[in-house]
Structure 1
Amino acid sequence: MRARRLTGSLACLVVLTLTAAGCGLSGGSEDGEASAGGCKVDQGNVGSGKLTGEVKGKITFQTTNLKKDFGGFFDGVIESFEKANPGTEVKWIDDPGDNTFTSRTVADAQACTLADVINVNSDTATALTKAGYLLDVATKDPGASKPFVPAFWKSSTFKDASGKSVHTALPWYTGGIVLTYNKDLLEKAGVDPQKPPTTMFGLFADYEKIAKAADGKYFATMANPVWRIPADWDQMNIRTLSADGESATFADDPRTVEWVEWMAKLYKEGAMPKDSLSSSNDPSTLYSQGKVAYGSTNPSFVRFVKQNSPSVYDKTGVGQQPFDALGHTTGAPQYISVAATSKNAPAALAFAQFLTNARNQTAWCKDPNVVIFPTTTESLDDPFFQKADGDDPFSEARKLVAEQLKTATAYQTNLSPAVQNAIVSQVQLAMQGDKSAEQAVKDAQKKANELLKQGS
C-alpha cells in the first residue's frame, strides 16, 4: 500500500520520474497489434470497447509488506476468488516496501512485466496512467463505479498522455489524516497535547517551541518537504495546479511563500534533523526511538509504533490534523489498478473488483491491527464504522477518521514525480538559505510550468 505520508508497513512516496518515451495507449495497427506503454498487448486491453473474454489464467497480485500481519486474510480472499472462478490462479507478490520500490515498479512497467493487479497511491497511478500502463477500468467495465462512494470514485480519475481523464484505478480503502505525537516530548516543550493546533502555521509554531526546548536532543519533525508537498498545501486550500491541471498556480497564493519561510526558519532553528533534508526516510524510525515529537499523519502509523516501540506507543497521542479553512479531510484513498499489459486482463479485472467489493473491504477494515476505512457505500453503512469506542491510540484514530468521513471530499492534488521533485528541490534551496522563499516559490512555479508544458 503506497500513500503519501503512510509509514511502517504502509509507507512510500513516489520520487522517481517515469520515462514516458514511446508510451501511451494505442489500438490495433495494420498488422493487428495493439500497445500499452510501449508493450504489445491484446487489443481488448486498450481502446473504447468493453473488456470481454473468459475469467481464467494466471495473474500476479502485488501488495506492500502485508504478508506478516495480514497473510491469513489475503490468502483467504485469493482462495475464495479461485474457488468462484475455476481455471484462475493468483500469485501473491508482497513487496518489501523499501526505498527502491518506485524504481523497481518503473522497471517492471517498462519491461512489460508489471504485476497484473497492483496497489498504487495517487502519485504512482498518475505516473503509470500518463505513460499508458494501466487499464481504463471505467471503459472496460461501464458499471465499475456502482459499489463506491461517489467522492472516492471521482478521486480515481487520472489523466492519460493526451490529457484525457480516465479511471485507471478502483478505490480500495481510505485512512484519513491525523496528528500522531509523543505527549511527553510535547509537554517538555510547553505544548499542550490536549489542544492540537487548528491551522498549519499553528502547527509550525509548535514545531518552533519544540526546537527551542529540545536544543538538538530531539526534533519536531523531518525536514524533507517531499512529505509535505502538495499535502500541506491541499490542507490549506492552496491550489497547486489550475483546474485543468495544465499549469502551476501555487505561487499566486501569498501563503505559499509564508509556508516556505516557515520551513526555512524551522530547519535553521533545529526543529528538523539537518541530515533529513534530502533523505527519503519518513519519521517512523526516529519517532519510535523517541527522537521525533510528531509521527506520520497516517492513522495506521500507531500500529507500527505499537509493534516496534511499545514504550513510545504508551506516550503516543492522536489528534485532529489542522485543516485550516477547509474543515474536512482532503486525503485520497489507496487504489487497486490493473495493468494494461496483463496477458489475462479479464481475470485481473475480476480479481481487482473482487478484492475491492463491499464484503472484502468490510472484513479487512474491521481488522483490529489497522485503522482504515472502506470506500464502498455498503461497507460504510456497517455499524462498526459508524461508532468507535475506547481511549487507546487505535480507538482515538478510528474516532477521528470516522468523524472526518462525514464530510470527506477525497480531494488530493496529483503531481507527476518530475513536477513534484522540481518544486521540492526549490524549497530545499530556500531551507538551506541559498534562496529567498519568494524566489524559490517563483522559480518552482516556473520550472513546474515548463515540465507541465512538456507533458512531464
Structure 2
Amino acid sequence: MRARRLTGSLSCLVVLTLTAAGCGLSGGSDDSGGATAGGCSVDKGNVGSGKLTGDVKGTITFQTTNLKKDFGDFFNGVIADFQKAHPGTKVKWIDDPGDNTFTSRTVADAQACTMADVINVNAPTATALTKAGYLLDIGTKDPDSSKPFVPSFWKTATFADASGKSIHTTLPWYTGGVLLTYNKDLLAKADIDPAKPPTSIFGLFADYEKIAKASDGKYFATMANPIWRIPADFDQMGIKVLSTDGKSAVFGDDPRTTQWVEWMAKLYKEGAMPKDSLSSSNDPSTLYSQGKVAYGSTNPSFVRFVKQNSPSVYAKTAVGQQPYDALGVASAGAPQYISVAATSKHAATALSFAEFLTNAENQTAWCKDPAVVIFPTTTESLNDPFFQNVTGTDPFSQARKLVADQLKTASTNQTNLSPAVQNAIVSQVQLAMQGKKSAADAVKDAQEKSNELLKQGS
C-alpha cells in the first residue's frame, strides 16, 4: 500500500490563490524600493535582482508546525546557538497546531502583514504564498543557498510567482521516505519470494492476487481504500495526472489508468482487501500488527510502530525496495520547507536563521532524535554514519539505511490534488471496485468530474 505523501491541507489552495493572485509583489523591480506584497510594505533590499545585504541583528519570529510539545528542547537549543553566534539577535518561537485550516490562516496572516519572519510551510501553502508575493526569493537573495541540499530536493523548493516564473522561495527541510514493508511468513504462504520485491505497481498487484488465493479469507494483502494510492501510484507509473498548467485532468488519456482500476476491482472482488476497508480512513497499522495484512504502510515510521507494538509480527517483518516502475527511481514526495517572509523587517537575520536551521549539522542532529523518524535533505546529512554505517539487521535499521540511500537520487515530484479532485477520482474508483460500473466508465467519469472542479477553481 502506498501512503499518501501529501503534507498539510490542500482544501483552501484554489480559493486562496485566487484571492491572493492580485497581491503579488509590485514595484521594486529596479531595486529602488516602494515594493508591496498585498497591502504590506516590503523593504527595497528584499526584492529585485540583488543579493540580500544587511546586518544580522534584531528580533524575528519563527513559526513551526506542531513541534514544540515533542521537540521543545531541541529547537530551543538551535535558537540559543544562533543567538550566541549572532549577538544582538532574538528569535521568538511560535508553534502552530497545523490543523486543516493552516493554509487559510497563514495566508490571512500574510495579508494582515503579521506572518512570521521564518515559517515552516508545506507545498500547498508555499504555492499560495509565492504566487501572492509574500515569500522572499531565496535563490536570488542568496545564490549559494542551494549548495547544502540534494539537487532533487532543491529542485522541488521552486514555486511560481504571480507572473508564472518559477523561483526558489523555500529551503528544503525534512522528509519521509517510501519503501515496502511486509510480513515474510504471509508472503511465503503465497509462494512469494520476499528477497525479490516487484519492480512495478502491476507486479505488486500480482503478488496481492497470489495472497488472496492462498489466504482463503484468513488474512489480506493490503487495504482497499484507493485514497491511499491516488495519485501516488499514478506518479510512480509515470501517468500524467494533470496538464502542464494544472488546469485540466489528463490521467484518463493514459490506458494504464483503466488497467490500474481494473486491477483494483479484481483484487477487491477476489478478497485481497478487507471488504470493510473500501471507504475506511484506517491505515493497516492494526491489522498488520495482528498478522492479518501482508503489506504494511510504506512510511518508515510504520516499521518502528510495529517494533514497539507487536514484537511477534516485527520478528516476521522485512523491508524492501518500492517498485520503481516507469519513474525509474524511488519516490520521496515533497518535503517540509522553511521560508522567509518578503515582508520581514530583518530579512538578513531571518534568512541567516533559516539557513542555520536547515544546515547539515542541525538536520542531522534532529534526525538522530529517537522521538522522530524523519530524513534530512542535505547531502552531507545523508552521508552521515548514522544513516550509512547501519550495523543492525533488524527491519527498522534496514529501513533507515534503505531510505537514506534512496533519497540521494529520489524523485520529489508529486501531483498535488485538492481534496475535492482527489475525492472525485477516488469515489469513481470505489464504484468500479464494487462492480457498480466498468473501469473504463469510472475513469471517464472521474476525469470529467475532476475537470468540472478544476474549471470552477480556475
TM-score range, shorter chain: 0.7 to 0.9
Residues 127-206 of structure 1 aligned to structure 2 (within 5 Å)? 129-130=130-131, 134-160=135-161, 162-206=163-207
Aligned counterpart for 2:432 among listed residues 426, 430, 433: 430
1:22 matches 2:19:
yes
Once the two structures are superposed, residues 213-236 of structure 1 have per-residue CA deviations (whole angstroms, 9 ceiling, x without a partner) of: 455554332333232222111211
Superposition map of 1:262-277 within 5 A:
262-277=263-278
Q: Tell me the equivalent position of 2:107.
A: 109
Name the CA distance, whole Å, in 2 between partners of 1:211 and 1:122. 38
Q: Paired residue for 2:358? A: 356
Residue 15 of structure 1: how far off its partner (Å): 5.2
Question: Mapping of 1:83-98 within 5 angstroms?
Answer: 83-85=84-86, 86-93=88-95, 95=97
Aligned to 1:34: 36
Structure 1 residues 424 and 111 mapped into 2: Cα distance closer, same or farther (>3 Å)? farther
Give the drift of 1:64. Answer: 4.0
Is the Cα–Cα contact under 8 Å of residues 62 and 93 in structure 2 kept in the other structure?
A: yes
| Aligned 8 A contact 2:11 2:419 in 1 | yes
User: CA offsets, 1:83-116, max 9 Å, x none?
Assistant: 2343312325274x7xxx2234433433546665
> Judging changes above 3 Å, is the alpha-carbon distance between structure 1 residues 182 and 381 closer, same or farther for their aligned structure 2 residues?
closer
The alignment-based identity, stated in percent, is 66
Q: 3-state SS of the aligned residue for 1:329?
A: coil
Q: Structure 1 residues 389, 76: CA separation in 2 closer, same or farther (over 3 Å shift)?
A: same
CA contact (8 A) 1:135 1:168 kept: yes
Separation in 2 of the partners of 1:131 and 1:441?
A: 34
**SS of match in other structure, 1:334:** coil
The match for 1:394 is 396
Q: What SS does the corresponding residue of 1:61 show, helix, strand or coil?
A: strand
- The Cα of 1:307 is off from its aligned counterpart by 3.3
Partner Cα separation in structure 2 for residue 431 and residue 13 of structure 1: 28
Cα distance, 1:234–1:137 mapped onto 2, change above 3 Å: same
TM-fit CA distance, 1:428: 3.1
Closer/same/farther in 2, CA of residues 307 and 72 from structure 1, 3 Å limit: farther
Q: Which residue is 1:420 aligned to?
A: 422
TM-score under structure 2 normalisation? Answer: 0.81
> After the TM superposition, which residues 379-390 of structure 1 pair with which residues of structure 2 at under 5 Å, given as runs?
379-390=381-392
Equivalence for 2:31: none
Provide the secondary structure at the position in 2 that maps to 1:23: helix
Structure 1: runs of 5 or more not aligned: none
CA distance in 2, matches of 1:150, 1:438: 39
1:74 corresponds to 2:75: yes
Amino acid at match of 1:177: V
Equivalent-residue separation in structure 2 for 1:380 and 1:391 (angstroms): 19
**CA root-mean-square deviation:** 3.7
Deviation digits for residues 399-445 of structure 1, max 9, x if unmatched?
32244245434333344444434433333333343432212222333
- TM alignment of 1:273-288, pairs within 5 A: 273-288=274-289
**Aligned equivalents of 2:60, 2:299: Cα separation in 1:** 34
Tell whether the 8 Å contact from 2:379 to 2:408 is kept in structure 1 after alignment. no
Name the CA distance, whole Å, in 2 between partners of 1:439 and 1:130: 36
Q: Structure 1 394/133 Cα, relative in aligned 2: closer, same or farther at 3 Å?
A: farther
CA 209–139 in structure 1, closer or farther in 2 if over 3 Å, else same: same
- 2: CA distance between counterparts of 1:33 and 1:203? 54
Report the Cα offset of residue 169 of structure 1. 2.0
Mapped to 1, the partners of 2:216 and 2:122 lie a distance apart of 37
- Which residues of structure 2 form unaligned runs of 5+? 28-33
CA distance in 2, matches of 1:66, 1:194: 41
- Distance apart, 1:270 and its partner CA: 3.7
Cα shift at 1:344 = 5.5
TM-superposed CA distance for 1:43, in Å, is 5.3
Alignment of 1:300-449 (within 5 A): 300-338=301-339, 340=341, 346=347, 347-367=349-369, 372-405=374-407, 407-449=409-451
TM-score under structure 1 length normalisation: 0.81
Distance 1:82 1:268, change over 3 A: farther
Deviates most, 200-209 or 264-273: 264-273
Any conservation in 1 of the 2:24–2:132 contact (CA below 8 Å)?
Answer: no
> C-alpha separation between the residues in 1 aligned to 2:342 and 2:386?
38
Residue identity opposite 1:392 in structure 2: D
Give the letter for the 1:323 counterpart. Answer: Y
Question: Cα distance 1:388–1:83, how it changes in 2: closer, same or farther (>3 A)?
Answer: same
Q: Is the Cα contact below 8 Å between 2:103 and 2:125 reproduced in 1?
A: no
Q: Distance in 2 between matches of 1:433 and 1:66?
A: 47
Q: Offset at 1:73? A: 3.0
Deviation at 1:348, TM superposition (A): 4.0
Contact 1:126 1:416 in 2 (8 A): no
Structure 1 counterpart SS, 2:448: helix
Sort the Cα spacing of 1:326 and 1:286 in 2 relative to 1 into closer, same or farther, 3 A.
same
Cα distance, 1:356 vs structure 2: 0.9
